[in-house]
A = this chain, B = another copy of it.
Amino acid sequence: MPTHSQTQTAVLGALSIRPMTGYAVRENVQNVLGHFWSESFGQIYPTLAELEREGLVERQRSEHPRSSPFAPTAEGLTRLRELLSEPPQPSRPRNGLLLRLFFGRQLGVEACRQLITDARAQAETQLAQLVAEREQLTRDASLRDAAPYILITILAGEYGARASIAWADDALATLDELVAS
């Protein structure tokens, strides 16, 4: 068991929704999973090669071997279920925004206001994206079976984004009081 990381999980999982090339896996990780997961080329290709060696995925026949998609084998699906059953590894938090605000006294009120305003705008953008994705999800018949689960993850993003927006307003008000006093 060389890889203790969750990269195998992400790759196998992506292929379980639809067979695809490594290139497409990366695009999907960026676009669809991007709100809560990330992988780079440097991870995806070695992982695919490893999964193929272990017989957990195989390339589907195609005239052009280069563009033939990978699909999970039966053992691959079994392995995926095992991996998904392991308890989620809590990733250590690294929030650069809050790190800066925590030491905001050194940074100054104005710079802090700017950071919070930027974060608020980012959250608005993300929220709009998620809402759009959610509507698109209801229209994609091919995802019928996976849709409820995908919906849940999109909802998590929406709740988070709305919380960020409300927090930003609250935080800006707190700083206003500070300046007034």
Stretch at the interface among A18-26, A52-60, A63-71, A170-178: A170-178
A100 contacts B84, C-beta separation under 8 Å: yes
Cβ-based interface call for A132 (8 A) = no
A148 contacts B175, C-beta separation under 8 Å: yes
Nearest to A149 among chain B residues (CB) is B104
A36-B98, A175-B148 known; A103 and B170 CB under 8 Å?
Answer: no
Q: How far is the CA of A17 from the CA of B104 in the complex (A)?
A: 11
How many of these chains are in the complex? 2
A149 contacts B95, C-beta separation under 8 Å: no
A106 contacts B16, C-beta separation under 8 Å: yes
Q: How far is the CA of A17 from the CA of B96 in the complex (A)?
A: 18
B residues less than 8 Å from A107 (CB atoms): 81, 84-85
Cβ-based interface call for A49 (8 A) = no
B residues less than 8 Å from A106 (CB atoms): 13, 16, 77, 80-81, 84
B37 contacts A93, C-beta separation under 8 Å: yes
Cβ-based interface call for A138 (8 A) = no
Q: How far is the CA of A133 from the CA of B102 in the complex (A)?
A: 14
A153 contacts B101, C-beta separation under 8 Å: yes
A70 nearest CB across to chain B (Å): 16
B residues less than 8 Å from A95 (CB atoms): 36-37, 88, 91
Centre residue among A80, A95, A111 by max chain B CB count within 10 A:
A95
A105 contacts B159, C-beta separation under 8 Å: no
Other A-B pairs, 11, CB within 8 Å; known A35-B93, A91-B96, A159-B170 = A6-B96, A13-B103, A38-B92, A77-B106, A90-B96, A91-B95, A104-B152, A155-B174, A156-B171, A159-B167, A163-B163
